[in-house]
Structure 1
Amino acid sequence: MTRHYPLVLKGIGFVLLFFFLKAFLSTIALSSFHKVIVDAELEHDDAIEVFFATGLAASTFKGDFRKSTRFEQKKRAALTISLGDNVARKVRIDTGQQPGATKLFSLSFVSHYGPDIVFTPQDIYQRFRPNEGVETYVLRPDHVLVVSRTNDPFLVLHGDLVVDNPFLKTVLPAIIAALLVVIAGRLSLKTLPAWTDVATKVSSTGVNFGSLDGIRGLAALLVLAQHTGVVRGSGMFAVWLFFALSGFLLSTPFVRQPERALSYPYMAHYLLRRFKRIVPMYFTMITITILFLGKFDVAFRHYLFLQANGHYWTVAQEMFFYLILPAVMITSTLLFRNRRLPALLFFAAVAAVAHAYLTISVVPLYGNNVTLRPMVGIFLIGVFCAFLFAYLTENHRKRLENPVVQQGLSFFGLGLFVVCMILADHLIGRFSAYDAVNRPGWFGIAAGTIILFTLLSEGRLLSKVMGWLPLRAVGVVSFSFYLLHPMMISCVRGTADYFFGYYPTGWVLFLLSGSVTYLLSLFAYTYIERPFIISAAAAQGPGSSKKTPVHAATAGGLRN
């Protein structure tokens, strides 16, 4: 029996896929209609309207309608009403907006996916039900007479409007289901890079900071939570976490080997890695969401990072971070070489100066119809934390390995995270001004502290929470997740509203759009992001150690 177990699963999978595809094609194709031809006569000048819906859940028609040209008084005519290939599984015929008599001789629904559906007078009388506004509804030899003494009389089709096409109804679903079963049998989720990289990927330093992947995943989910209405302000705090993570991870190779900053091959390779890490997926999204809509000028300003609308504003910020990091690292290396404490003080001072004085009057970034301030101060807080982490682990390792110290760091880090969430979401009215938008510097320091304490409390509750496998799984694909999630939110809302007459919000929208975004991110990461990451690693310059593994976690806050 064991040998046949996979075959049984494949059979079950085929059956489930077949019936799903059968229902899906029946809705989107067999219930799609190009036009309806109304053969009628009205006793007064008026127009006939056709309301239509998918009918999967909604019992009412919410505004999807088309209107005929006006019928002349007591003059029979066959007028065409365009439905635009929309799904019209459920249909309502409004026989006029004024009281009076209407004679319906026939209704013909024309589809590109099957033969026309023609309703004779007898079909109309049997298949359509009048509303309470219809006073008389009788079948005559060549027409159905509809008489109303009130406004807005209408008839509703009983049952579904579906054309007959055996190929689309049976053959095509069977073919697609069989192909999907065969393909699924050849795939293994266990070997999907987005899964294997959760456990095996390492940064450019050769270290796997799994808990930092978890922080990145948590930040991505918080951004999604804000955009779906689950939280009110924590999404901005999540962005500061992303920026601080970028600073921490991008500077770590220079912390370990300061001489890299003076190596032209390494610095050239650093810029190449950054380009290959961010540009492919980013350009793909700009092409889909802006260029394909015909907004050529806007798209090319985004390609050149001269404009950053919507959630793309963070990408322009990160590109700016990438450009200034070499200058900062070269300055630090020339001044301090391997002296940790002076370098630490230097980066603390640089972060403070950048936050205070690097404003839009110095470096303006444009997006969302406003001039955006570069948030370099938060990025440099992450750099400072990377140097502080190295300093503490090199000079105070024994003290940091004390269980009491680790528990204290874990407790403080968790408490700080909770406080940031409370303040960011304005849960305490008197502190509403102290949120992530109005106090980016303080929240940036908090973000860096949480990152630092997560690493220093390895094995404790904070580290375990941030290193939780589902968070790490999202963290690995977080760049694709971040770029895709607004589009997926719109798709989920539109699909639910169109097919089911339901407009999801809050946690329902969060769970639905989050699941769809993650699944799509798996493939975007595997087939768009990762090939360029691997090619960047293969082209690693002579400034890097040949023994240093460079894998999918080549540093960067949103992009590892």
Structure 2
Amino acid sequence: MPDAPAPLAPTATAAPPLATTDPTDRASRIAGADGLRALAALWVVGSHLFQRLAPQPGSWVEDVRLVMMKGPFGVSIFFVLSGMLLSAPFWRAYLTGRPFPRIGHYTRRRVARILPGFYASLAVSSVVALALVPDAPYRLVRLLAGVTFTSGFHWATFFPVPLNGPLWSIGFEVVSYVLMPLAMWGLFRLHRRSTRIAVAYWVAVMAVVVGANQWIVTTLVPSAEGRGWQYGDVGGAKEWMPSYNPVGFFAHFCLGIAAAAAITWWQLRRDGRRHWGFDLLAAAGLGGAAWLVWVNREPAEPLYLTNYQGQPYLFPWFAGLVAVALVGLAHSRVLGRLADNRFARFTARVSFGIYIWHYLLISVVEHYSDGGLAYGAITDPGTHLAVSAAIVAVTYAIATASWRWIERPALTSRWARGGAVRPGC
């Protein structure tokens, strides 16, 4: 990209406001973000439900099962999305010559968005786990690590609570929430501002992240003792690590930061003009990501050891294509609006609740079904469809309640919105 445009006046209206991850802010959405968020949330839920369906060899249902089992790729979508949405105000401030955004406001919004819902799920999951699996190892230290968002730094604490495995990624994402503004602060501290300097700077940041991750995956390998899912979730964490680590996942986040840079640059240089070329770009990104999933649909459980640096979710190809799709959707003429349909917008609004509550519900149903919902226990696709529909419906009800009574009150509180906010923050 050429050098940055001349700084805009604080009252300039050359481009529409950039989105944040605040679902209450309807005026500042980036087209396509809600659609991808909804897809990621439902794909993650689908993967955990299709784990319960036995293989269906020789049937089209088996292809559906295999694709749905790749639902953990939705975690990568979440990281790319967060990187794009959270870094966008920083890019706008940088490219318009404004000061570094107020970090206090950024911190309050992140705290209000994550802590209430996550702590509620963590608390309920801990009580349920104490009743259903009283012999779970490292219970207290895992809970403490979860509360402090440090669970991802050791295999013993990787899953902060039994029975609700997906909570592992929240701590990882919080680490990225910290690393992004720190890295952006370094960019703002440079004496000159230009797009070329910014691109070179973030290429250097990505190189440091990749280098640090290489050291982690080759040095911090857990011992083989008790390693594997046959030893429970702690053994499974030992198998996942160090391929799953917060630094490696920040690389997914960085690809979202790159997407935000491109989106912001276009908004400032071309007034956010929509163009059919962006529809083609979005289609290429989405189609490429879907093709990657399809050709890698077997085996059912996603493999990652042969990927770049042993990273999960076909990094960097899948995450990179998601970033490309986001750039295209943001300024597309049709695809962005199609992606952000009414159902997708509602699902995106309650997606955090869907993510943090669905697996606990599945675990409770599995416990009280005497193995009827165990891994691969359902042989009839019709029965699986009915059970899955019921669990999804209850999950939506819980997530909606979580949004209405826990998440939204925190986000709209005076504390969360308090303080003067510089334009673009």
User: Is 216-225 or 325-334 further displaced after alignment?
Assistant: 325-334
Say yes or no: does 1:275 pair with 2:111. yes
- Quote the offset at 1:316 in angstroms: 1.0
TM-score for the superposition, normalised by structure 2: 0.69
Letter in 2 for 1:455: A
Match of 1:480 in 2: 353
Correspondences of 1:1-400 after superposition (within 5 Å):
201-202=24-25, 207-229=28-50, 230=65, 231=67, 233-258=69-94, 262=100, 266-290=102-126, 293=130, 295-307=139-151, 308-309=158-159, 310-335=165-190, 338-359=193-214, 361=216, 368-369=237-238, 370-371=241-242, 372-374=244-246, 375-396=249-270
Contact kept in structure 1, 2:79 and 2:256, CA below 8 Å:
yes
Contact kept in structure 1, 2:31 and 2:329, CA below 8 Å:
no
Contact kept in structure 2, 1:220 and 1:481, CA below 8 Å:
yes
- Quote the offset at 1:285 in angstroms: 1.4
Residues 265-298 of structure 1: per-residue CA shift (max 9 Å, x gap): x212212221221111111111111256173333
Distance in 1 (CA, whole Å) between partners of 2:206 and 2:263 is 16
- Quote the offset at 1:223 in angstroms: 0.6
Distance of aligned partners of 1:199 and 1:211 in 2 relative to their CA distance in 1, 3 Å threshold: farther
Distance of aligned partners of 1:438 and 1:274 in 2 relative to their CA distance in 1, 3 Å threshold: closer
Residue from 263, 281, 297 that aligns with 1:409? 281
Distance in 2 (CA, whole Å) between partners of 1:506 and 1:350 is 46
Residues 468-516 of structure 1: per-residue CA shift (max 9 Å, x gap): 221221111111110111012234445666999x958754443222111
Distance in 2 (CA, whole Å) between partners of 1:361 and 1:427 is 26
Distance in 1 (CA, whole Å) between partners of 2:147 and 2:215 is 21
Contact kept in structure 2, 1:248 and 1:382, CA below 8 Å:
yes
- Provide the aligned C-alpha RMSD in A: 3.7
Say yes or no: does 1:437 pair with 2:322. no
Contact kept in structure 1, 2:109 and 2:416, CA below 8 Å:
no
Contact kept in structure 1, 2:281 and 2:325, CA below 8 Å:
no
Distance in 1 (CA, whole Å) between partners of 2:385 and 2:295 is 21
Distance of aligned partners of 1:467 and 1:364 in 2 relative to their CA distance in 1, 3 Å threshold: farther
Contact kept in structure 2, 1:492 and 1:512, CA below 8 Å:
no
User: Is 376-385 or 359-368 further displaced after alignment?
Assistant: 359-368
Contact kept in structure 1, 2:119 and 2:147, CA below 8 Å:
yes
Distance in 2 (CA, whole Å) between partners of 1:348 and 1:246 is 19
Contact kept in structure 2, 1:254 and 1:261, CA below 8 Å:
no
Distance in 1 (CA, whole Å) between partners of 2:398 and 2:416 is 26
Contact kept in structure 1, 2:32 and 2:336, CA below 8 Å:
yes
Match of 1:510 in 2: 388
User: Gapped runs of 5+ residues in structure 1?
Assistant: 1-197, 551-560
- Quote the offset at 1:521 in angstroms: 0.3
Letter in 1 for 2:288: L
User: Is 287-296 or 243-252 further displaced after alignment?
Assistant: 287-296
Letter in 2 for 1:218: L
Match of 1:542 in 2: 420
Contact kept in structure 2, 1:413 and 1:454, CA below 8 Å:
no
Letter in 2 for 1:315: I
Match of 2:294 in 1: 422
Distance in 1 (CA, whole Å) between partners of 2:340 and 2:88 is 19
Contact kept in structure 2, 1:385 and 1:448, CA below 8 Å:
yes
Contact kept in structure 2, 1:409 and 1:453, CA below 8 Å:
yes
Contact kept in structure 2, 1:488 and 1:517, CA below 8 Å:
yes
Distance in 1 (CA, whole Å) between partners of 2:270 and 2:417 is 37
- Quote the offset at 1:434 in angstroms: 6.3
Residues 232-287 of structure 1: per-residue CA shift (max 9 Å, x gap): 55323211110011110111111112377646xx2122122212211111111111
Match of 2:14 in 1: none
Distance of aligned partners of 1:270 and 1:492 in 2 relative to their CA distance in 1, 3 Å threshold: same
- Quote the offset at 1:537 in angstroms: 6.4
Question: Secondary structure, in 3 states, of the residue corresponding to 2:29?
Answer: coil
Say yes or no: does 1:490 pair with 2:363. yes
Distance in 2 (CA, whole Å) between partners of 1:211 and 1:365 is 38
Contact kept in structure 1, 2:282 and 2:325, CA below 8 Å:
no
Match of 1:533 in 2: 411
Residues 64-121 of structure 1: per-residue CA shift (max 9 Å, x gap): xxxxxxxxxxxxxxxxxxxxxxxxxxxxxxxxxxxxxxxxxxxxxxxxxxxxxxxxxx
Distance in 2 (CA, whole Å) between partners of 1:290 and 1:495 is 17
User: Gapped runs of 5+ residues in structure 2?
Assistant: 1-20, 51-64, 152-157, 160-164, 223-233
The structure with the largest alpha-carbon Rg is 1
- Quote the offset at 1:466 in angstroms: 1.9
Distance of aligned partners of 1:402 and 1:523 in 2 relative to their CA distance in 1, 3 Å threshold: closer
Distance in 2 (CA, whole Å) between partners of 1:337 and 1:537 is 35
Say yes or no: does 1:455 pair with 2:330. yes
- Quote the offset at 1:529 in angstroms: 1.0
Question: Secondary structure, in 3 states, of the residue corresponding to 1:361?
Answer: helix
